[in-house]
């Protein structure tokens, strides 16, 4: 009986082990990102990698059309940023933007049926005009960050009227479960929800001209001092970077010398340019819309919904995992060319015999002036 029990127990143990091994999640995969021995590795969880791939699929491109033919600005009224496109290109891009931003509402998201497409009745049309110019500017002037794949409206919107990842000043932060209302421990981003970090790392660096520098290169401060408050803001911003791109700190930094640019990956320089680009987007394009945005599109302090790194990246180290939608829609690759200046009207010049000259003119022509 004892032997039977032991055999049965051993069999159950083997079956249990086999069951556990079969249910065990696959181990994370690591990729060497930088200097060996510094922990500069990227870790990927196979269980979540496929979900990330599924979330970053791009819609099929609308077939390209000819750039020949009359221009949209000559055929349609009130076309401010795309008037240089041919009618075919203009119509194709409008159809794509509808698919990217308002697939459910269609054209009526920006246009009022029966009023004519030229009317600016809806604020959404004015927003679209600003966003198109902002996208074109990013592709033309911020190649140091978006170079290669570039960005389109779909990069951020992905079928939503408003991108899923936006921010406003003074948004009531979300509470972490079972933590109560503990001052900074109520961060509104998942990456710092369980830490004592500032709830808004975006205003100082993605709206204002804050400098994200906290680490000195000496044991004691010597001309480089950062307050505890600014250090926490920087750390909260870095956690946002990490969360937005789905990477760890070593995506940009050498873990043995975080402050050293020379020992960092090239992605750190790219991230710096991205920070400046986002700051320009928020100040030059988005904030000016506050003058006419409806209240439901503003935050509690009356500011527009702004962008940060997660707006485009949404958990991927490259937006849409590097899919180059701009190649299919090159009209979003550069700002509209400046309008050609109209030729100045030729002034009628009287014939020499009809010119009236003053005494001074006569003296100069006669060689009498000093």
Q: Using N-to-C axis directions, what is the helix angle for 123-141 and 87-101, rounded to 10°? A: 110
For residues 309 and 348, give the distance between their C-alpha atoms in angstroms, rounded to a whole number. 59
DSSP 8-class letter at 42 = E
Q: Quick: pLDDT tens for 138-180.
A: 999 999 999 989 999 999 999 999 999 999 997 754 443 433 3
Burial label, 217 (beta-carbon count in 10 A; 0-12, 13-18, 19+): exposed
Nearest-angstrom CA–CA distance, 99 and 329: 13
Structure tokens at 123: 């604020």
Q: Quick one: pLDDT at residue 50?
A: 87
How far is Cα 82 from Cα 90, in angstroms, rounded to an integer?
7
Residue pair 248/242 in contact (Cβ under 8 Å)? The answer is: yes
Q: Determine if residue 106 is left, alpha or beta; phi over 0 gives left, psi from -120 to 50 gives alpha, anything else beta.
A: left
Block residue for tokens 């819309």: 289
DSSP structural state of residue 22: H
- What is the radius of gyration, based on Cα positions, of the chain? 30
Integer Cα distance of 95 and 103 in angstroms: 10
Locate 1 and state its tokens.
Answer: 């009986």
How far apart are the C-alpha atoms of 43 and 27, rounded to whole Å?
10
Cα 94 to Cα 125: distance, rounded to the nearest angstrom: 12
| Domains in the chain with CATH codes | 60-158+325-337 (1.10.468.10), 165-213+226-313 (1.10.468.10)
Point out the residues of the chain with pLDDT beneath 70: 1-25, 172-195, 216-217, 221, 223-225, 340-370
- The confidence score (pLDDT) of residue 21 equals 53
41-44 vs 29-32, strand pairing mode? antiparallel
Residue that is written with structure tokens 């829609």 in the block: 329
Quick one: which H or E segment has residue 44? strand 41-44
CB environment 56-75: b (16+ within 10 A), e (fewer): bebeeeeeebeeeeebbbee
Q: Which two tokens stand for residue 27?
A: 């181990």
The encoded tokens of residue 131 equal: 């966003």
CB 30 within 8 A of CB 43: yes
Q: What is the pLDDT of residue 74?
A: 96
What gap in Å lies between CA 329 and CA 287, rounded to an integer? 27
* CA distances to 107, 135, 212 from 81, in Å: 18, 11, 35
41 sits in which H/E element: strand 41-44
Q: Using CA atoms, how far apart are residues 260 and 217, in angstroms rounded to an integer?
A: 9
Residue 124, both tokens:
């959404």
* Whole-structure pTM value: 0.80
* Residue whose C-alpha is closest to residue 89's, from 263, 333, 313, 307: 333
């Amino acid at each position: 009986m004892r032997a039977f029990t032991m055999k049965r127990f051993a069999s159950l143990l083997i079956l249990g082990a086999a069951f556990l091994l079969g249910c065990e999640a696959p181990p994370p995969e690591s990729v060497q990102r930088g200097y060996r021995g510094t922990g500069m590795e990227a870790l990927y969880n196979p269980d979540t990698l496929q979900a990330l791939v599924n979330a970053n699929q791009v819609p099929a491109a609308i077939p390209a059309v000819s750039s020949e033919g009359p221009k949209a600005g000559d055929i349609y009224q009130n076309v401010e940023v795309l008037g240089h496109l041919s009618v075919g290109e203009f119509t194709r891009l409008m159809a794509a933007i509808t698919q990217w931003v308002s697939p459910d509402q269609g054209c009526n998201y920006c246009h009022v049926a029966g009023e004519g497409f030229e009317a600016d009745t809806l604020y959404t049309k004015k927003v679209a005009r600003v966003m198109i110019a902002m996208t074109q500017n990013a592709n033309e002037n911020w190649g140091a960050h978006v170079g290669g794949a570039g960005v389109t409206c779909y990069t951020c919107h992905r079928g939503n009227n408003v991108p899923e990842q936006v921010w406003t000043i003074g948004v009531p932060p979300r509470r972490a479960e079972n933590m109560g209302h503990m001052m900074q421990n109520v961060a509104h981003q998942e990456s710092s929800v369980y830490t004592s970090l500032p709830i808004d790392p975006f205003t100082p660096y993605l709206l204002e001209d804050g400098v994200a520098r906290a680490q000195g290169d000496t044991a004691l401060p010597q001309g480089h001092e950062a307050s505890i408050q600014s250090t926490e803001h920087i750390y909260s911003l870095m956690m946002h970077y990490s969360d937005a791109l789905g990477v760890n700190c070593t995506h940009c930094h050498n873990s043995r010398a975080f402050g050293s640019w020379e020992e960092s990956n090239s992605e750190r320089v790219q991230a710096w340019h991205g920070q400046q680009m986002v700051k320009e987007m928020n100040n030059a394009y988005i904030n000016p819309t506050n003058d006419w945005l409806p209240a439901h599109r503003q935050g509690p302090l009356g500011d527009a919904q702004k962008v940060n790194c997660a707006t485009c990246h949404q958990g991927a180290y490259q937006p849409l995992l590097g899919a180059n939608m701009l190649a299919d829609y090159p009209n979003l690759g550069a700002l509209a060319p400046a309008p050609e200046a109209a030729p100045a009207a030729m002034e009628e010049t009287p014939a020499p015999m009809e010119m009236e000259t003053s005494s001074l003119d006569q003296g100069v022509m006669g060689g009498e002036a000093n």
